[in-house]
Amino acid sequence: MNDNQTTASIHEPQVERGGTVELPDIQQTAVGNVPSSLFKLRLTTPLRKRLEAQAASRGLTLTGEILRRIDETFSDASERLTSLEKLGAERDRRLRELEERIHVLEQKRDDFDVR
C-alpha cells in the first residue's frame, strides 16, 4: 500500500456491523485536512442510507456529508439566533407602539367620561 492509498483510506468512514461509523477528527494543516483522531457514531440503518444517498448526490463521502451537516448547524444556529434577536426587537417595538395607542385611547375615554 502506498501513501496515497493510506491517505484515502483514512478519509473514508469505517463502517462496522450495526451501523457504527468512525468519523475522523479533521484538522487543517499546511498539507491539507488531516485526521487527528476518530469519533464513533452509531446510526440507524434508515438514517445511514439517507445520509449515504445525500452524500452520493453531492459527490461526498459519508463522512464528508456528516461533517458538512454538522458544520452547517453551527452557521445556521448563528443565523437563527440573529433572526430571533431581530424578531424580538420588532416584537418589543410593536408592544411599545400598542402600549402608546392604548394610553391615548384611555386618555380619550377619560376625557369623554368627564364631559
Cell of 105: 385611547
pLDDT tens profile 13-59: 555 555 666 665 555 544 455 556 677 889 999 999 999 999 999 99
Residue 14 neighbours by CB under 8 Å, 6+ apart: 21, 22, 38
- Alpha-carbon gap, residue 36 to 52, rounded angstroms: 23
Per residue in 80-94, pLDDT tens? Answer: 778 888 888 899 999
Calpha distance 66→1 (Å, rounded)? 27
Q: What does residue 39 show for φ and ψ, rounded to 5 degrees?
A: -125, 120
Tell whether pTM > 0.85: no
- Indicate whether 1 pLDDT > 90: no
| Range(s) of the domain holding residue 104 | 3-114
Q: Are strands 14-15 and 32-42 parallel, antiparallel or unpaired?
A: unpaired
Q: Would the pLDDT of 110 be above 80?
A: yes
Q: For the chain, how many structural domains are there in total?
A: 1
